[in-house]
Amino acid sequence: TIVMGIETSCDETGVGFVENGKLLGDALSSSMAEHVRFGGVVPEIAARAHVSALVPTVRQALNNADLSLADVGAVAVTAGPGLATALHVGVAAAKAYALALDVPLYAVHHLAGHAAADTLEHGPLPPRCVVLIVSGGHTSLLLVEDLVRIPIVHLSDTLDDAAGEAFDKVARVLGLPYPGGPSIDRAARSGDPAAVAFPRPLTGPGDDALGFSFSGLKTAVARYVERGPAAGVSVEDIAASFQESVADVLTLKALRACRAMEVDTLVIVGGVAANSRIRALAQQRCDEAGVELRVPPMRLCTDNGAMIAAIGDLLVQAGAAPSPERFPATPTIPLTDAQLY
């Protein structure tokens, strides 16, 4: 069965085609540039951009996969979490395609999609693994036994900001262009990660062993910049020092979770998993700990349609029941089951 995946939860219109764990082709259209002057995604603008881009992106993805619509055997769509206005566009489109093609429709969880992205590159997940989801809206550690079945055990979350949110806000403080993650990654390459000793939140004795917090770190960077950096400390040095703190904390806790759960595979997914320092430090620490690290290629880390097709394909392969016709878009929904309805 060829599964068409549709993603419209934020500013990316993504469409992908997956069959039996294999990516056949995909396409992406982003409204990122339209949000730059607002410093963040504007929901109404994102929604209007999805309406414009959706059909052309489906066409482009079909082209790239060398398929026609008649080849599609199932449709999967991000039903949540995400921006309500943006989700509605994808959900409505997916329902129309599924009805017109007379194929089953699967409402899927955006974060299960992020995790499933890795299977397109590295094959099926092992029977038990720890998944670190680091994105614009989430920072969570999960114990995953089967992506398409309960229980996906939540080990921890962030108490405040998500890691991606911290990257975006710190970039703004440093005067680096939106989106902040890639800007900081780039700037940090020519900076000294030891230039400023920023805090490592929640790593003290007595702190939540697996929990995250990034709002204090973000404030520490803002204070440092306000006070005026020490002589010889550049924006690049501050970016590198901030990034080092995030990479240190994320990888420390992820490996702690692997040890606690006696799991020997760590999967890091979501937009922040595209970060070069996080990827490098995770690899180094996993090698030291004898843990296998799986991280999707960069283009599958940030939002895309292929990852939604990938989780749809896993549902089809598991023989899951399609979602009911009336399912709504759900802006906030925890990842307790990969299939929402």
Q: Tell me the closest approach of the beta carbon of residue 130 to ligand ATP, in angstroms.
A: 18
Residues lying near ligand ATP in the complex (CB under 6 A): 9-10, 81-82, 110, 114, 135-138, 164, 167-168, 179-182, 185, 270-272, 274-275, 302-303
211 a known binding residue?
no
Query: Which is closer to Mg ion, CB of 29 or CB of 158?
Result: 29
133 is in an annotated binding site: yes
Q: DSSP code of 294?
A: E
Q: Using CB under 5 A as the criterion, which residues of the chain lie in contact with Fe ion when the complex forms?
A: 135, 303
Measure the CA–CA gap between 143 and 190, rounded to whole angstroms: 36
Q: Is 66 annotated as a binding residue?
A: no
Q: Which ranges of the chain does DSSP label H, i.e. alpha helix? A: 32-35, 43-65, 84-101, 110-122, 163-173, 180-188, 215-227, 235-261, 276-289, 298-301, 305-317
**Residue 293: enclosing H or E segment and its boundaries?**
strand 292-294
Residue 135 among known ligand-binding residues:
yes
Environment class of 135 (CB within 10 Å of its CB; exposed 0-12, middle 13-18, buried 19+): buried
Q: Residue 337 CA to chain centroid, in angstroms?
A: 17
- Residue 265 CB, nearest approach to ligand ATP (Å): 21
DSSP 339: B
Helix (H, G, I), strand (E, B) or coil at 323: coil
Are 131 and 115 spatial neighbours (Cβ–Cβ below 8 Å)?
yes
28 or 220: CB nearest Mg ion: 28
Nearer to Fe ion, 18 or 134 (CB): 134
Task: Between 164 and 191, name the residue whose CB sits nearer to ligand ATP.
Answer: 164
CB of 178 to ligand ATP, least distance (A): 8
Partner from Fe ion, ligand ATP, Mg ion, none binding residue 182, C-beta < 5-8 Å depending on class = ligand ATP
Please, which residue, 10 or 301, has the CB nearer to Mg ion?
Answer: 10
Does residue 138 have a known ligand-binding role?
A: no
Site string for Mg ion, 1-40 (x = CB under 5 A): ---------xxx----------------------------
- Whole-number Å distance between alpha carbons of 143 and 147: 10
Q: Please say which residue, 90 or 182, places its beta carbon nearer to ligand ATP.
A: 182
Residues found in the chain: 341
Rounded to a whole number of angstroms, the minimum distance from the CB of residue 263 to Mg ion is 29
Q: Taking the CA atoms of the chain, what radius of gyration do you get in angstroms?
A: 20
- At closest approach, how far in Å is the CB of 71 from ligand ATP? 28
199: closest CA among 132, 141, 140, 249?
A: 249
Contact 144, 129 (CB under 8 A): yes
Q: Which two tokens stand for residue 296?
A: 């999707």
20 is in an annotated binding site: no
Nearest distance from C-beta of residue 107 to ligand ATP, angstroms: 16
Residue set of the binding site for Fe cation: 110, 114, 303
Positions at the binding site for substrate: 133-137, 168, 181, 185, 275
Question: Which residues of this chain interact with Mg ion, rule CB under 5 A?
Answer: 10-12, 303
List, as residue ranges, the binding site.
110, 114, 133-137, 168, 181, 185, 275, 303
